[in-house]
Amino acid sequence: MSVTYNENAKIFRLRAKDTDYILKIAPGGYLAHVYFGKKVPDEDLTYLLRLDENPFTPETNNRDKACYMDTLPFEYPCFGLGDYREAAFRIMDENGMSTCDLRYLSHRIYRGKPALDGLPATFATEDSGAETLEVVLEDKPAALEVTLIYTAFDKLDVITRSAIVKNVGKRPCTLTRVYSACVEFDTHEFDMITLNGSWARERAVERCRLHHGKQSVDSMRGESSHQNNPFTALCSHTADEDTGEVYGFNFVYSGNFISQAEVTQHKKTRYLMGINDLDFSWLLEEGESFTAPEVVMVYSDSGLGKMSRTFHDLYRNNLIRGEYKDKRRPILINNWEATYFDFNTEKLIDIAKEAAKSGIEMLVMDDGWFGHRDSDNSSLGDWFVYEKKLDGGLKYLVDEVNKLGLKFGIWFEPEMVSPDSQLFKEHPDWAIQVPGRELTLCREQYVLDYSRKEVRDHIYSMMKKILDSANIEYIKWDMNRQLTEVGSAVLPSNRQRELWHRYVLGVYELMDRLTTEYPHILLENCSGGGARFDPGMLYYSPQIWCSDDTDAIERLKIQYGTSMCYPCSAMGAHVSDCPNHTVGRSTPFSTRGNVAMVGTFGYELDITKIPQQDRDAIPGQIEQFNKYNALVRTGDHYRIGNMFEDNTWDAWMFVSKDKSDALFEFVQVIGRPNERSRRIKLKGLDPDKYYYEESDPDFKLSGAALMQCGINIGGIWGDYQSKIMHFMAAE
């Protein structure tokens, strides 16, 4: 059993593979956190709560209950009763009071894992079963019930958490904070790792030592954001890729979030994650419920690498869905960096013809095919074909591309509207806005109010007409600006602060309709590059455009950071032209291919104009990608180099689950004098197996030697050079 309850000790134990998560109904009916970490024998760990050290527990002596409240490690702390640490839950009742008192009411344990209404979430499969604990807490005066949902996966070191709040009374109540998870740690000796950045440099790894007070990352942009990713790891000071304790947290949500660690007066740590409560409220009328998104919690006793591989396995098998869940993605060429807005039917067919000769499998037509769009200042929302640009219409273009043996994909930005569009002129109130205030432009566009069903229905009907008009097999869904002046023309005043979350729910609803009605279409998410690279999006699309920065050297850091919790198979990665359009750097075509091969792989260039030498190299790159893709897509990922610590080189590996073969990739970023070779220790191999490198089958070394002694990487001269080695287990 993954979940057990000890009636005498009032202790719940969730066991996920080698991880235990333990909680207890403490004196007063409060749900307390006992332990989270490596599995331990099944025994009563109540002593960890130090209840005997606090004589003022409510059941025995209520003389100083506030001391009890301010020291108990709450499983779901609420506001107003003497716990002065950050709360996970806060309300405002009809009298304007914010005090809340949640106490144990009931629980149930069952096999499997529930879906969350209107929200993405991980799921259990036959191969990776799970068991769920639901604990119901109640606040009698407020007539609220909060159901805490915990799921432990059988074969992964994963615990997930979410919460559902229900108004069981006759009076309305307003929720002002509903976080999804709180975990109490009995120490402050942690480093906090976050993924931060900006446009074109997303998910840079930052590591800082916790200190007294509150440390957090968050987003208030209406999306998970370029600036901060909804991922955090708390780890021991000495933890590295392969050793040390790590606790990873990832939020399955694509809107505003907060991730916060608070070191308290007693040098303990309270960690919280959930929807950002800034500018948030949610009115619950009689019988209504609110569902908080899921938090994925991963424990590792063997460093950051094991944590990452656990996230990767979970997301590949228990989050990503659909036809492409376990399937190689088509090798595509996208015309954005090739043409920007300056293209027509003839130009796209020319690109497709040359691409077909090289073995590329799909042409994706990016921004500029609709309305009268020749620049980024018009036509969003007018999802009908720009006939002047696409002479002969969309179906003609798609048919001609299909005749060449290529699939066809198309770009949409469904959440946005341009001021000059027919849509905005007819429905100006469909844009998110605050009456009486000027609408802020960003990329000369506004955001549609996706909380409104009629808006979603209208956009979907236009998309459907396009998708039904031709053989379209791929969609790139983009979002190029954040939310401002957040107000809705239809929500009443007491529900206006719900718009942030209702917007995200609307996006999810439309993506669900799209992927349900068109299950064979490959959906790739994008938000100005990587501003919505989060688990919520992965639930609807098996891949996400990793960054608008396609430079191979910049991508080393971006893809390294992304791999902290997201599988490489989900990283949209393309070979682009040089000098690179973002940073102006020129790198060898082979290195661009080797770096892009870490992800979904494709091309972002005008194949009719690149040097013949580069064009001639494409079939070989495609052959290499096809050879190794199954290993990249399903194998275990090991980070070896670290560009954040040493920017002169990088290296990584993919190892098959049975450890029979491994792909090693190395990039020499900066060539150094007197460094003829570099010795690198491999990872993830079977120490008892013998391996040979594919190019030299007669020379064999044990996995132990390859990992403990390493290999010499030589024969590389110059900056930005790369090398691939394929190791196979000897018979």
Active-site annotation, residues? 478, 548
CA distance 301 to 492: 50
> For residue 156, which of 2, 285, 374 has the smallest C-alpha distance?
2
Whether 530 contacts 480, CB under 8 Å: no
State how far the alpha carbon of 21 is from the alpha carbons of 6, 59, 178, 283, 581, in Å. Answer: 14, 25, 22, 32, 48
Whether 405 contacts 356, CB under 8 Å: yes
CA distance 480 to 545: 13
Helix axis angle for 345-358 and 612-634, nearest 10°, is 70
3-state per-residue secondary structure call for 706-731: HHHCCEEEECCCCCCEEEEEEEEECC
Exposed, middle or buried: residue 699 (CB in 10 Å: 0-12, 13-18, 19+)?
A: exposed
State how far the alpha carbon of 620 is from the alpha carbons of 614, 616, 623, 661, in Å. Answer: 10, 8, 5, 21
Which residues sit opposite 191 in a β-bridge? Answer: 209, 235
> For residue 431, which of 496, 483, 502 has the smallest C-alpha distance?
483
3-state secondary structure of 24: strand
CA distance 545 to 526: 5
- Cα dihedral 421, 424, 430, 434, rounded to 10, equals 120
State how far the alpha carbon of 507 is from the alpha carbons of 253, 457, 520, 537, in Å. Answer: 11, 12, 20, 10
State how far the alpha carbon of 339 is from the alpha carbons of 334, 346, 374, 525, 616, in Å. Answer: 9, 12, 11, 21, 21
3-state secondary structure of 654: strand
Whether 282 contacts 223, CB under 8 Å: no
3-state secondary structure of 177: strand
The DSSP secondary-structure symbol of 498 reads G
* Amino acid at position 39, single letter: K
